[in-house]
Amino acid sequence: MTEQEKMKNGMWHNANFDQELLSLRGKAEQLSYDFNMSCPGSREQQNVLADLLGTELPDGLTILAPVYFDYGKETSFGKGTFVNHGCYFMDGGSISIGENVFIGPYCGFYTASHPVTYQERNTGLERALPITVGDNCWIGANVSVMQGVTIGSGCVIAAGSVVTCDIPDNCLAAGVPAVVKRQIEQNRRGNHNEE
């Protein structure tokens, strides 16, 4: 298997020294730079984003600069999703963001981990596991979502949280590490000020 194939299968792979992966990350870094330096909302900026993500952009997707991707094409967004300034998508493992998701500024989605022993870490080993965020979520400012995590639909993740394990649908989670604080009653109206 190539190192890229290992990466996509959630296996330990050489991320630091494999030329194919270095080239793919270099291209994504250049496209991220081009996006970040483009006129906000311009056709040029949208074209760069489509090239970076490797797909036609979904309706209503808004991503504000600056934004950073390791690969770009390993991240997908649903329609109506909003990504605020300064977010980072470490997408060696796939990152799937649902529809109508609000992502606050300076959030990070980190699919990669490294060995804890420096001897192994220094060889370039990495393992990337996917992250999934369901529809209609609100990810507050400065949230870190770690590898292998699934956040269910209808969730709110409080600002500054570090999400290290799965969060079920319709939950408010907060903390370091994030824990479920309560269920959200989605059909209840008039509770917009209590979060």
- Just list the catalytic residues: 114
Question: Distance of CA 159 to CAs 21, 121, 163, 181, 193, Å?
Answer: 32, 31, 11, 14, 16
Q: Tally Cβ neighbours within 10 Å of residue 104.
A: 20
Give the span between the Cα atoms of 190 and 195, in whole angstroms: 12
Name the packing angle between helices 43-53 and 19-37 (round to 10°).
160
Tokens of 37: 């330096």
Residue 56 DSSP code: P
> Please, is 85 exposed, middle or buried when counting C-beta atoms within 10 Å of its C-beta (0-12, 13-18, 19+)?
middle
Tokens of 65: 């600069």
